[in-house]
Structure 1
Amino acid sequence: MITAIISPYSFKGSILKLNDTINYAKEIKAKSLFLCDENFHATVAFIELCKKNKIKPIVGYRYKDKVFYAKNTNELYQLFEAYNSNNFENLNLEYIPSEEIYFAYYLPNQRYLYEIFSEFLEVKPVEKGVLKKIYCDLDVDEYKLSSNQTLPKAPENFLDLKVSNDEYERLKKEIQLVKEKDFVDYIYTIYEIVRTAENLKIKVGPGRGSAVGSLLAYKLGITKINPLKFDLMFERFLNPGRKDLPDIDLDIEDERRKELIEHLRRKFKFVYHISTFSNVGKKTLKKLAAQFKISSQKLEYLLNLPTHKSIHAAGIIISTEKINVPVKENVIEWDMNSLQKLGYIKFDILGLRTLTILSELEKKFGNVPEHDKKSYNLISKGYTTGIFQLDSFIGKRVSRLIKPDNINELSIVLSLNRPGPLNASIDKQYAEAKWKNKKILELDQLRETKGVLIYQEQIMKIAMELANLSAEESDLLRKAVAKKDKNLMEKLMNKFEKELSKKLSDNTVKEIIDVIKEFSEYAFNKSHAVAYAHITYYLSYFKTNFPKEFYKTLLKFDTSKKENVIFELQALGFNIRLPNINRINEKEKEFVIPLTLISGINEKIEIQIFQNGPYESFESFVEKNPELNFSIVESLIKVGAFDDLADSRRKLLEKLKEIRSGVNSQLLKISSKLFGKKIEYNYKPEQLWERCDMEHSILGFSITKPVKDFKNYLSPYAIAFSRNQKLATHIITKGGYATDGISTFKINAPDNTYTIINERKPKLINGLKKINYILNYIYSHKDIEKGNLYESVTFKRNGKKIKILKSRPLIDDYDIIIEEGT
């Protein structure tokens, strides 16, 4: 009987990892292996590993009661074609009846792991599936898979571009290298993708990655950042030593990515998505261990086994001619690595929600001016909710520390806002250099970053300009130091040090080498940072100048940070109003929560509700909206959308029950006769904290204050929350909710007044206390802002203590002192 292996990529419970299976085959001196999945996910890796280990690979496909197999490359392509068209009836290939094949799913002594994994995948394990003897002596030639992808052909005049005098030499060099590398058609394809998107008025990002350093990409309109203006390096993108294609990745608005790909398919004919696979991770392993009451160690073999296929978030394959790959529903069965090994060129088009939001705002308000000081001020205060790359709590802290005031410095903030630089305190080093002129290295190549090594390109510039290394050597040095490749680093560093010593003192050479070795692994791609900083700035501009429209657009496309939005609006002085079934004309500093934040209400339903209004009573609302789901109306009541029409939400909920009892439970279909009889309800209005509870159950936050007319003499809670800052707030609690007179939040504390220190584990102190923030350092007067009556800041200057009343810090390194006499 012939032996065939089923790989884990069949998702049939197999745990035959390819490497281990091939090693086992070598141990028992098997000369060939027969792969027989019901897909082709594992084909490329299987063939490659078999060849590497001098085992003959045989690829088959099981269809009903037959197993077809390919005797050569051409037949393998025929097998792909039959699979793609799901037409095996006319396939003229040799086959073996299924009953004559023994299908293996696991290695010896792995039955229990196989059964556990099968149960996890919800498939029934086979009775016999252990791989012992291997017999598959089929006459098969060597498979030679390769790419037959055909890119669109660039016109002869494609690179005939108009240039100014200062662009000529740079562009000439770039075009020459692109032609030498035979990359013209690749760049033309990217150009056509961008042009197609822009013709459809689909927002394309300003650029991504090292491609932003290419003047050619800028002149073609692929990127929107002039590399000459920002001193960006082409060599980081492409240099004579680079043999592979440089990545030119594109960002577009996520809502229209599918639309763009459909148009590209019409344009180029063959456009496919790429497969990607989810694997068993450590969390899954722990769950399995708990489920089967077995230690995680005994299940470790299951780590990294594939569990299901999905579609790569960005990558697509484009070809003007048909390609020899297995495809289902326009998705190639292979992953990115398999395709690249065969020579296929992928194109990354990533959908960004940020660009969807930006596109909406630009349609309403037009383009953004080059420099808006107020927009940088908002970032510098840490109000970065919804701001690209900076809306994390850590991003807010870095923004407050650095206080960027131009696009170059915003690029630096984005580069520093990563775990590596933050763990190495490079953000603080830069702040010291900026505000106190404490520079680490006085080099021209580090001037823009105040002597702090932040960008990868700075390493390359030091190597090229001071050590006379070639562009290729400089790029290799950057990679070697970042990846800690000792062999390559030692070879290049010796030359680097020798050349530096010809121009600089021994101390300076040592300083440069120490800095590069210490910080290069944290260095970031400047071209990428500059491009993304523009998106960050654009969003900050709209947020600063059109705040209400910004937040509404943000909430339209992203409700995941709705609580953050509400607190930040309050921190910026906006009065938040609950949703309302009647359209409200907002005042300048008012923000009405949109109905779309309620589950079940989309933009279409919200428009319908407003068009059916205005409403004079709850009954009139129900009459005019008979098709609304019961749960939606219940949610509207709980969030206070009827508060202007009724004094008790509880009373309205009771009315709703009465209405529901006589109709279909799914839909509110009410005849007007029902309201002909007046029903009296003797319910008292619910307490304020009960309203908080109702709102929180629907929205995830509360707007109603549990206690009226409360005055806070410390920092507003909304400021502490929005900026992720350890500040003190005076609050009063009632029924599990707290307020400072502006905001409301849930709290686990008895009813009382407190001073709360807002940190990861909030600290509660009974009563109102005076707070003094003792700064451990201060960079400038911008590190302090106006505070409340019982807040003060103390810091040292020239050895003297200075205390400023009614103030609070903008930075984070300080101690909180509770003063007596409150």
Structure 2
Amino acid sequence: MLYINCHTYFSLRYGTIKPEELLALAANNGVERFAMTDINNTSACLDIMRVSKAHNIKPVVGVDFRNGADQCFVMLAKNNNGFKEINSYLSGFLHTTSMTIPSRAKYIQDSFTIYPFEIGKDYLLRENEFLGVRPDELNKLKFSSWKNKLGKLVILQTVTFQNRKGYNTHRLLRAIDNNTLLSKLPKEEQAKETDCFIAPEALKELYAEFPQLIENTAGILEACNVSFDFSKTTPKNQRCLTENEATDVELLQKLIKEGLSYRYGDTPDASILERIEKELEIVQKKGFVSYFLINWKILKYARSKGYFYVGRGSGANSIIAYILRITDVDPVELDLYFERFINLYRKNPPDFDIDFSWADRDDIIEFMFREFKYTALITVYNTFKFRASVRELGKVFGLPKAEIDMLTTRKFDVNSLDKLSFLVVKYSTYIEGFPNYLGIHAGGILISEEPIHQYCATFLPPKGFATTQIDMVVAEDIGLYKFDILSQRGLGKIKDTVTIVQQNHPELPPIDIHDMKRFKQDERIKYLLRNAKAIGCFYVESPAMRMLLKKLQVDNYLGLVAASSVIRPGVAKSGMMRAYILRYRYPERRQDAHPVLLDIMPETYGVMVYQEDVIKVAHYFGGLTLGEADMLRRGMSGKFRSRDEFLKVKQQFFDNCKRHGKTYDLTADIWRQIESFAGYAFAKGHSASYAVESYQSLFLKAYFPLEYMVATLNNGGGFYSTELYVHEARMHDATIEAPCINTSEYKTTIEGTTIYLGFGFLHALETNTITELISARNREGLFTSLDDFLDRVSISVEQLTILIKVNAFRFTGVAKRELLWEAHLKTSKVPVKEHVITLFKSKRVSYEYPDLQTTDLENAFDQIELLGFPLCNPFLLVEKPLEVKLKAKELPKYIDTVVTIEGYLVTTKNTRTSNGKSMQFGTFIDYDGDFIDTVHFPLVAAQYPFRGRGVYNITGKVVVEFDCMTIEVLSMYRKATIEDPRYVDTSIKMRA
């Protein structure tokens, strides 16, 4: 018990030992206690305490407080209160913008503080404070006054790495952290080479002359005892929303009674009431009443603010959640399996995922921090990936960029690399997976019964909300379950569309976007689903989803719920997507399923489609208990894949099947389906929640396509580029106008069927310019000329040039080139900081210009430069006119025939065949704007690669599967584009 300062790789960009390696190192050397003290970090403390029991080790926890690499002091927690106080103390520094640790520690009663020994320094130590003497300082100790005060001295053998390789890795991490060449890394920024693990007997030998230091060190470690309950039997989240648990139950029952009629009318079926009673009993037994009430409280606030939200995840399996309006999915209608959400065997906490519009989410988080006392965001450990590691280490070794770029591709012969490049690759593999920095979980928030610092320190990222140093897995290990407050742009699109429709069609009644009963019967929505005309619509617009909808010919809600999970990678990887399509479309093929599986999953024809199906198959086919089956499902998600308990469950699955007479081949095949599927599958309630949002967006697309496209553009699009959504609006008869200084706003707007693109789409136009322009227009009316604009808006010539080139002054009738001349003559590069309104306007000098007309072709290239895409048909920009007259609509006439067609590239998808070879899928539009889908098998993908945006000449075989048309490409080349006419002969005209 001699180690009071041990680091893991959570001493970010400093330590090199993984927590499990540190435990193994200690156990292999007979160490029963050591102090886990990462630098300004407590991320590893809880996890190392959880795992330490398997190694028969009792770790002590604390913090190594440092300014950079300069050690100030080490603090060790005597007990849980001391750990909390140390976390609070550290967090005080981490919540500041410029963290500076003082040389003298704050007094914390339930802790020990160890300062590094320094000869000649005057120390006045409190009773809980000591000096730590390094082995190389023992000679200095002999000549200091402290040799007579040995009761205040302890061993300070810092453990940062295991060996020479670890030391080299440490130095590279320090160079990365200091953004410097390794050769220029200052000595003071790195550890001593001796900061490694020294065996206990060897360490005792070093301090043999001072046995009291050995005794003091062991005494301090013996006096420390921090422990946590990892059984998760009692949730650690806020226990009550009201005064106590009894009044919480009363409130929940009251809310259920009030919400029952809203969801099921005044006379609900007996089955509804039975389901409520069943859920209430389990929720109370598991101690999750407050969890429901806290979610209800948050969403009550959201509704009061008019925020759109979707409750999804396995929480949609709960009728209580449905009645409390946490979710909008009726679990009775969909026969959702409540035990997937909460069951008496399930130790891990339940989980609601609440999606808000990206514009509303921050206010919800602020509300939670105001409303609940002990709240924090959850961190994620952002780790070094191989490519990032290569780039960082390449800079440390001083490699040229071209060489670093080559190494990141992994396309090299290791034996042909020079020494430095070899070292970059070698050490990149060492640090791959090391935590690089602490980030913020996409939506996880903790609301604790005890202060968050009971468990870890917190830091303050730019968003300004306290964030834990432990991730969600560690939090769950101690029974702290997260509230998922997520953001997505789909909800912003829906909310904005409703507003835009009211503005553009004031004569229409308000839209009830929650009228799902109507939406499920709507023929227009059914038509869009069957024909996959869902561009812009939530979750159903991607090429893969469009093809699946065509293959399934889905036109109903339950079919879409299934499709939302079938599309997930696991189903396709297991080969069951094709099986599902066959069985869905051809009832006679349903007998292909194993009778046991068909009996377990009749609704999905014996195919595992939802996460619940894993539980069902594991329980009914594999003979696992519900608790074991849920552990199997969770293990497949990846979070716990390496844990021993999961491997035991896997073995139990095979043993049970063998015991019940199932063949090994059948068992292995079912296991393969589970393994390839479960990590990616949705819970059925999750799919149902997605389908609700899909239906809402489909309704708006069906009845208000132009307004919906405007909202899509203003919310950052979706799967595709801005260009395609502009194209989609044009396909619905919209007139698309470039930004105009008299009609456009920051965002895109619509008047009737005319869409004015917003100034925000102009890449180089500054926000200040947009704000001043709109303010001047709102204040004094429309602009009448360029001179009028210059009199009222302070603007530089560069910013004005952007507006002129995009034709924002077209209302003046003056040619763009003439306006550009005027702009350069009448403005300067640096505008005055503030526009001054004068009583008398000075008359601007007018100039006479030659005829400077601009062609449509020049306008198109200006639009490409400023917007990123042309507003004309892109086929008009090719060097040679349309050479092939075949259109996408005509492809059904050429099934199994090799054809040539021209298409404008929309998007590509890279994937791999079963044997690991690269292949691709392509999505194009033809001259008329209809989609062309292509498949590029490995040989073709290698010989005819995609070469960026443009019009391609595609030759391939037309194939059809389940009514879905694709072209298996044989050859492909991108057609040459007309040269930019702004820099060549202006007599060239746009292709007609």
Q: State the TM-score, normalizing by the size of structure 1.
A: 0.79
Structure 1, residues 126-164: CA drift from partner, whole Å, max 9, x if none? Answer: 252531437654523332135865422414352354453
Q: Which amino acid aligns with 1:412?
A: A
Structure 1 residue 538: Cα displacement: 0.6
Structure 1 residue 255: Cα displacement: 2.1
Alpha-carbon distance between aligned partners in 2 of 1:262 and 1:636, rounded to the nearest angstrom:
38
Q: 1:656 to 1:14 in 2, by over 3 A?
A: farther
Structure 1 residue 51: Cα displacement: 4.9
1:591-602 alignment runs, 5 A limit: 591-599=755-763, 600=765
Alpha-carbon distance between aligned partners in 2 of 1:294 and 1:473, rounded to the nearest angstrom:
48
Establish whether residue 655 from structure 1 lines up as the match of residue 817 from structure 2. Answer: no
Figure out how many residues of one structure are paired with residues of the other and give that number: 751
Q: 1:448 to 1:58 in 2, by over 3 A?
A: closer
Structure 1, residues 443-466: CA drift from partner, whole Å, max 9, x if none? Answer: 576554466542344566678899
Establish whether residue 341 from structure 1 lines up as the match of residue 477 from structure 2. Answer: yes
1:191-340 alignment runs, 5 A limit: 191-205=296-310, 207-288=311-392, 290-291=394-395, 292=397, 293-295=420-422, 296-319=425-448, 322-323=451-452, 324-325=454-455, 326-329=457-460, 330-340=466-476
Q: 1:47 to 1:171 in 2, by over 3 A?
A: closer
Structure 1, residues 68-90: CA drift from partner, whole Å, max 9, x if none? Answer: 33233332233223334569534
Q: Which amino acid aligns with 2:858?
A: E
Establish whether residue 126 from structure 1 lines up as the match of residue 276 from structure 2. Answer: no
1:784-799 alignment runs, 5 A limit: none
Q: Which amino acid aligns with 2:108?
A: L
Q: 1:513 to 1:131 in 2, by over 3 A?
A: closer
Establish whether residue 366 from structure 1 lines up as the match of residue 511 from structure 2. Answer: yes
8 A Cα contact 1:8 1:305, kept in partner: yes
1:713-792 alignment runs, 5 A limit: 714=885, 728-729=901-902, 760=946, 776-777=959-960, 779=962, 783=963
Structure 1 residue 530: Cα displacement: 1.2
% identity of equivalent residues: 21
Q: Which amino acid aligns with 2:6?
A: I
Alpha-carbon distance between aligned partners in 1 of 2:968 and 2:113, rounded to the nearest angstrom:
76
8 A Cα contact 2:797 2:829, kept in partner: no
- Aligned partner (choices 39, 59, 62) of residue 61 of structure 2: 59
Q: 1:272 to 1:569 in 2, by over 3 A?
A: same
- CA RMSD in angstroms comes to 4.4
Q: 2:651 is matched with which residue?
A: 487
Alpha-carbon distance between aligned partners in 2 of 1:59 and 1:446, rounded to the nearest angstrom:
49
1:72-111 alignment runs, 5 A limit: 72-85=79-92, 88-92=105-109, 93-99=111-117, 100=132, 101=156, 103-109=158-164, 110-111=166-167
Q: 2:11 is matched with which residue?
A: 10
Q: Which runs of 5+ in 2 are unaligned?
A: 67-71, 94-101, 118-131, 133-155, 180-185, 204-216, 230-234, 258-267, 398-419, 461-465, 503-509, 642-646, 892-898, 905-923, 931-943, 973-992
Q: 2:966 is matched with which residue?
A: 812
| Equivalent position SS for 1:190 | helix
8 A Cα contact 1:637 1:652, kept in partner: yes
Structure 1 residue 558: Cα displacement: 0.9
Q: Which amino acid aligns with 1:115?
A: R
Q: 1:396 is matched with which residue?
A: 546
Alpha-carbon distance between aligned partners in 1 of 2:684 and 2:798, rounded to the nearest angstrom:
51
Alpha-carbon distance between aligned partners in 1 of 2:279 and 2:668, rounded to the nearest angstrom:
30
Establish whether residue 350 from structure 1 lines up as the match of residue 486 from structure 2. Answer: yes
Structure 1 residue 529: Cα displacement: 0.8
8 A Cα contact 2:801 2:820, kept in partner: yes
Q: 1:96 to 1:778 in 2, by over 3 A?
A: closer
Structure 1, residues 455-479: CA drift from partner, whole Å, max 9, x if none? Answer: 3445666788999997667757877
Alpha-carbon distance between aligned partners in 1 of 2:798 and 2:493, rounded to the nearest angstrom:
30
Greater CA deviation, 665-674 or 155-164?
665-674
Establish whether residue 640 from structure 1 lines up as the match of residue 792 from structure 2. Answer: no
8 A Cα contact 1:480 1:489, kept in partner: no
- Aligned partner (choices 542, 545, 549) of residue 700 of structure 2: 542
Q: Which amino acid aligns with 2:168?
A: Y
8 A Cα contact 2:519 2:696, kept in partner: no
| Equivalent position SS for 1:315 | strand
Alpha-carbon distance between aligned partners in 1 of 2:34 and 2:15, rounded to the nearest angstrom:
16
Alpha-carbon distance between aligned partners in 2 of 1:813 and 1:669, rounded to the nearest angstrom:
63
Q: 1:245 to 1:693 in 2, by over 3 A?
A: same
Structure 1 residue 278: Cα displacement: 0.6
Alpha-carbon distance between aligned partners in 2 of 1:280 and 1:649, rounded to the nearest angstrom:
50
Alpha-carbon distance between aligned partners in 1 of 2:630 and 2:48, rounded to the nearest angstrom:
34
Alpha-carbon distance between aligned partners in 1 of 2:844 and 2:630, rounded to the nearest angstrom:
82
Q: 1:430 to 1:319 in 2, by over 3 A?
A: closer
| Equivalent position SS for 1:370 | helix
Q: 1:579 to 1:609 in 2, by over 3 A?
A: farther
Q: Which amino acid aligns with 2:486?
A: L
Structure 1 residue 302: Cα displacement: 0.7
Alpha-carbon distance between aligned partners in 1 of 2:671 and 2:61, rounded to the nearest angstrom:
50
Structure 1 residue 339: Cα displacement: 2.2
Structure 1 residue 697: Cα displacement: 1.7
| Equivalent position SS for 1:338 | helix
Alpha-carbon distance between aligned partners in 1 of 2:42 and 2:952, rounded to the nearest angstrom:
67
8 A Cα contact 1:715 1:730, kept in partner: no
Alpha-carbon distance between aligned partners in 1 of 2:813 and 2:696, rounded to the nearest angstrom:
43
Structure 1 residue 407: Cα displacement: 1.0
Q: 2:286 is matched with which residue?
A: 181
Q: Which runs of 5+ in 1 are unaligned?
A: 499-505, 721-725, 732-737, 745-757, 784-809
Structure 1, residues 300-321: CA drift from partner, whole Å, max 9, x if none? Answer: 1111111111222221111355
Q: 1:792 is matched with which residue?
A: none
Q: 1:606 to 1:141 in 2, by over 3 A?
A: same
